[in-house]
Structure 1
Amino acid sequence: MKMKKYILVLPLMVLLIFTSCTSSRKLYEKGKYEQALRKSAKKLKKKPQKFEEADVFYAAYRTLFVQDSTLAANLENKNYPADAEKLLAIYTRMKQRQDLALSLPPLAGIKVREYDYSSKIGETKQKVAQLAYSKGLQLLTDARSSFDREKARQAYIKFQKAKNYGASQSDLPSLLAESKKLGTANVLFKVEKNANVILPKTLNEELINTPVEDLDREWVNYDNYIDTTVFYDYSVILNIQNIQVSPEQLNQKQYTETKEIEDGFEYVFDENGNVKKDSLGNDIKIPKYKTISCNVVEFFQRKTAIISGQLEYYDNRTQKLIKAEPITAQSVFENAYATANGNLNALKPETRKKLNLKPVPFPTDEAMVLQAGETLKKMTRDILVKNKNLFK
């Protein structure tokens, strides 16, 4: 197995060594001018008088300069607004190469003609910013009329781009805010119930307060209280359809436990009716046993509450149900205790422990419903998290 491992690794090592040893001259000959330029510059910074590297740097620099100058001139002549970003990229990389050449040690002897790329870059940035601003306005206008969230999001990206490139329009902050608002999908979580369901006020408030803030994403906002300044595109409704509380149940089970215990002794007689003796001359006796018993009555208290319904996802623009998931939560009260009548020594240890338990008052119906509501709240939260990517 070791042999195979080395055979697999060796070609990779050879490739890494070969790549790292590729000279700037070879890179240039392969047409990889940018790589050749960077590599020769790196070597010149370490050994400025390495003239062969200076030759490669000059050659690569000139080639790239001619290529980008020609491309920039063509784009300038066409004067297409959509080409401004391409032009910006060209001027930016030309400036970076010029800065690199100027940063080399004087001993390297690298001298290049300096151009004012900063002005070109500044002018082109303004064109890019203006184009992005104009496109953003167009997208936002469409989004306003069609309530198209996707177009509003694209508008926001364009306005953000315009801002990043230094756009100076005074209405840009308000346009960013408007496109962000139009592009955001707002989701309202609320609790509803059937007419015949009586929901404790405290439980209703607890369920409404189910945490939703952390479900927010860049373009999705969750609320559990109505914000009158926004339109809610979607609703998630916890629809309580039924609440059932069982009667108080007290069941019992009766049983008897028995145990054999020693109860004195009796002599052992021989065939002549005389008491037998052991080797020491003592009378031989054997223990006598008797059975003792104890009657036990075990009592079982039980009460349950069940809340059932479903979590419903609605598209408020189309009034259509997107998805519904059933949800049921239960609370259970249980208590057990026992009484005994008879000889307690007959009882098993676990049975005797039950005698120490006492009956307790049954919880009220409201207390049972509130306890089930706590479980329901957790279950609701889990479903919300699971389906958080349903809205986009």
Structure 2
Amino acid sequence: MKKMAMVLFIAVAALVFTGCSKNTDSGAAKQGNKESLNTIRIWHDGDKGIIQLMENRLNDALSDDGITVKFEQKTGLTDQIKLYGSDEVNGPDLYMYAHDSLGMFVEMGVLAPITDVVDKTVYADMLPMTLKAGNYKDSQYLMPVYFETLLFIYNKDLWEGEVPSATEELYSYMKSHTDTAAGTYALVNQHSTAYNVAPFINGFGGYIIDEQARSGLSDEKTKEAIEYNKKFAQLEADGDYNTVNALFKDRKAAAIIGGPWLISGVKEAKINYGIKSLCDFTLPNGNTLVPYSGVQGIGVMKHAAESKKEAVEKVLKEIADPQLGIELAENSGCAPANQKSYNDASVAKDEMIAAMRRTADIAQPMPNIPQMSVMWGPTESLLAAVNKSGEDLNIAVYEYQKKAETAIADMQ
């Protein structure tokens, strides 16, 4: 009997232990699943300083909610999203990238509109231009974070007098202050790079590509702009990126048209620089120069909008907070997408950021349709043919319009 009792005791103990073990395993699985749902992975290819600031701020703000945000840098982000955009296990939950790839990602079917996760009131204070950049086929896919535009950057020690406010006056100044034989210039620009010529094209009412994915190289207004830009190009060195930057930093050029990405080098060269918005220059037709703008925004993968909706919503709300924009402006020189960020005195008084804020009222976001990717090549070949090779515009434009149309058709 004692042996039988001992056997029964061991059997019952084993059952109790097994039950406890199963409950423990189940609890651990539930805890692990909860942690997974509260971990938001954001892929990016951005500046490390900017990303670290964002990661620190988001994790501090969301710590009480148990949400962890992990930014992961990816080389070749576009290709990585093509491979893993729909992969809930190996892919990202969100991504941060320039807005001009948006259309391609949407057409791939990997993104959800952010309105699936947050109410429109969350991003109501964003600059209209930045919202337009993240909108595709009437749906908002990106929460804008910050933006950039081209600027007129000048050396205060070299520029004589006030910077003019009309492009014709600017051209007159260039003619009298440029000595190509001596290698000194009043103004340099990447005159055969589409992004840098866009302020003229857009300002003249032309376009590189429209919303219906039609090439605008042969448009009469585009041609007028290219012809007008040509006379400036003749006084702007070879237009190569490295050349024009070196000329400005070596004090061989009094001014340069470039973006905020140049400022760190300008500071290192200890140049006493000033900044003017391109919207402060008036063209002969009465319009101002109208540059493109690039917007950095956050997009949501479809699977995350469904399985992690609550956590994603909280992350997007923090990204939309104007305080994030203020910190990005103060620490990294970013122009915030949120209009309320500019109420902060330190943001408002920053010369570069203030110039981009003014430009944002007239700037055009780079087209975010997939077909834009094949327009850079034909456009820049056309500009080089006219500005560098001296080809007749009317002949060259016919060739490159055809090439653009073929490239667009091949994407169908």
TM-score range, shorter chain: under 0.3
Would you tell me which structure has more helix in proportion to its own residues? 2
* TM-score scaled by length of structure 2: 0.19
Greater Rg by CA: 1
The structure showing larger relative contact order (alpha-carbon pairs under 8 Å, at least 6 residues apart) is 2
